[in-house]
Structure 1
Amino acid sequence: MLITLLGTLSVLMAVAGFFSYRAGLQEAGEMFDARLVQSTRVLVGLVDEPLGDLSAFPGDPIVLRGWHGRAEGVGEALAFTDGHAYESKLAFQVWDRQSRLLLRSDSAPVTPMAALVAGYASPVIDGEQWRTFTLRTAEGRWFQSGERSDIREELAEDIAGGTLLPLLLALPLMALVIWWGVSHVTRSLQRVSDQIGERDPERMSPLELGNVPREVHGLVQAVNGLLQRLHAALARERRFVADAAHELRTPISALKVHADNARLAADASARFKAQDLLQDSVGRLERLVAQLLMLSRTEATTRSPIARLSLDALVATEVDALRALLDLHSLRLSLTLSPVEVRGDEAGLGALVRNLLENAIRYTPSGGQILVEVGQENRAAWFSVDDSGPGIAEEERDRVFDRFYRILGSGVEGSGLGLAIVRGVAEAHGAVVTLQRSARLGGLRAVVAWPPHAPDAAGSL
């Protein structure tokens, strides 16, 4: 990070120096161009009229001598009482209308510095780049002033150097400040890393935000959220294992007893009876294990379901699969379906529908009636199951969603997991499960509803 920041600063300084040089060169050009014009006009005002007398007498041009010597440095080191070191880089010429040279500085050549055309020019004289300005007077004389271009370049370099040099001198200080800042942030991140590395898997308390820079608060909060979810998942798994171990102990013990009775039966009749009981126990154990696995998958679901599916088709499929069980209990089922689409997991919603239907079948007396409906109202989808069974007392309706909770005296075998599975699947799909008395059949009415704003509802809802 330190190398990247310092490298970036160095590049930015180089770019700033380049643009500063370009800007200085442009400003110097504008200033010196204006000075050339001014110098030419001053020269015209001073010598144009006196030169009128000389133009009638041909001869050698008048040469004005400047300061010649060696000088180094900048500013005052180049200035003297009798001249300036830059005089050799400045020149002027005066030509008459017959293109005869009348007057020149000793730094100017004897030929025109530029074509005798009014305006600016950029000629090359003796291998050096010059900038000239030519002005013609009313008497037809040509006045030319010029200067070498390296004067402008030196000025631009001075401007760029004056801008860039303080930055270059400040670079070590900036490096020190950046190093301190990076080290401070790194130490803070190292403390966070140490907290995570030393954390016991059994301790999922959140990380401390006190000494953490604000820039990494989002990271620490995300890690704290992950720790919280892991804590909830571990607690859920521990609770599931404990409950499963407790609930499996009794049917497994009964299974062993029936197996021993079948093995030790004194006659065929006793053995057949023990085998029937053994088969029933295996069936109950199979159902319990299947529901435990379904409950585990339901509680582990954390992502939002994304597949679009037809709720009415799903309900119709589950009803067809249970037709044999309905006939076995001599139950009449009425099915009312409206086309409704929701977003969800087909297996999970299938388990929800199946458990509600099985509960209604098991608790409805022989010859009773079940009413299944799927509909949509005010952009909210719903699925309901009514039965003519004994129903559930109002004070018990919240508790029956707890795992392994069963109402005493119902006379129906079960594991107490069906409604827990229903609630888990519904919550994972953004739906709400409610239990109430069926106004039409007198038993229980179970309703699963998707609110209009539920994130898992289909676009049509």
Structure 2
Amino acid sequence: MNSMRRFLVISVLSALMLVNFIAALHGYRSSMLEAESLFDQKLSEMAAQYAVIPLTGSVPPPAPDDQQMVFQIFSQEGRLLWRSAHAPVDLISDEPGFSEHNFNDYRWRTLSYLNKDNGRRVVVAERVDQRYRLAESVILESIVPVVLVLPVAGILIWLIIGHGLNSLGVLAGILRRKNPDDFGAIKVDGAPEELMPVINSVNAMLGRLNASFERERRFSADAAHELRTPISAIKMHLHNVREELPGGSDSLRSLTKDVDRLAHLVEQMLLLHRTTPDHYPAKFEPISLPSLARELIAERYADFAAKDQSIELVGEAVTVDGDRFALGILVQNLLNNASKYTQQQGRIEVRVERRADGVWLTVADNGPGINEVAQLRVFERFYRLGGDRHSSGVSGCGLGLSIVEHIAELHGAKIMMAKGLDDGPGLAVSIIFPLPPSTATSSELGIKVKPINSAKRYSGQGGKQ
């Protein structure tokens, strides 16, 4: 049973019902014995009354009865003096005291009484079934309220246990409202003794988490300094070596490429850590996705031009609530992947649109694409399709989409992957942001960048050039 409250209520009610049942059974038996005693006392009083009742005439007519209680009066000589209408003519019982007999199709409780003063024998009898019916009706009237009160008791127990468990709800609320970077000890005012071990254990765990995250923060800061500095020095020495070797060499070019890859790996690892939702101190503000994409496309123009690729920005001028720095990294990584893995003279499209389920930012290309099996793994850290020997021949570290996933999670967005542009297998990566409270829309954008043309590539109005 998953609910502690439901378990306690059912357990207490079960115990209460068991105790009530045992008590009712004992009460029933005691009450039946008491009722038997009262009914027998009634028969004794009736027999004593008939033993001295004056009788006129030799044989009086049968006395009326209610068919549930009968009597007979016999003389000392054994002659029937008087009887009730439904009593038999023959003597019912000549045994002194109480006994049970069958006649008139019923079982009867009988009392045979002999009056020693006048020699009369009086036999009175009462139907056993009527006795039990009367006794049970009286007893059940006292037991039924106990049974009927069980639902009321259940409701009261439910409320009382709920009140007793309020401290758990308070503790859950405090933990729910805690910021991801808040590892301070929690305190629940008026917490019962039974809850204190839980609170102390949670506080101890928060202390250990705080120490762990502090070590990780210090490691990131140290790594940023200790790794960037020697890489920058190596790059400077490589530049000097290239100057000293006018013709260059294959080894030098390979070394330069590997150092650039190492620098990229360090930067991506640091970005991966910084953009983790639990660590990143996001500052949300309204961000225009088309404007942000336009800026980043302009910054990366040289990369598109180097591969003679065309890029198009289309869609609606919509805004989302987000962190500018994190969203910039997200768009930049998507553009990097699209440019790196799309062939020479390939085509890339960035689309921003508002739909019923959110704001869609899609970066699509007509490159080689990714099969459905690999799409399930591309967000794993350090995973690259084909490994380091990727068919594109470009270097990478397999962290770009992991960073994209972190930033999407930070913004409460979803990620979808689909087939790319129509003129190739391609890949389309869509980030679906939640709809902001009010999304301003404007006319359709249509920004096309063809690097092989003149340097005037963007209009201030966002129109086509």
What TM-score, normalized to structure 2?
A: 0.44
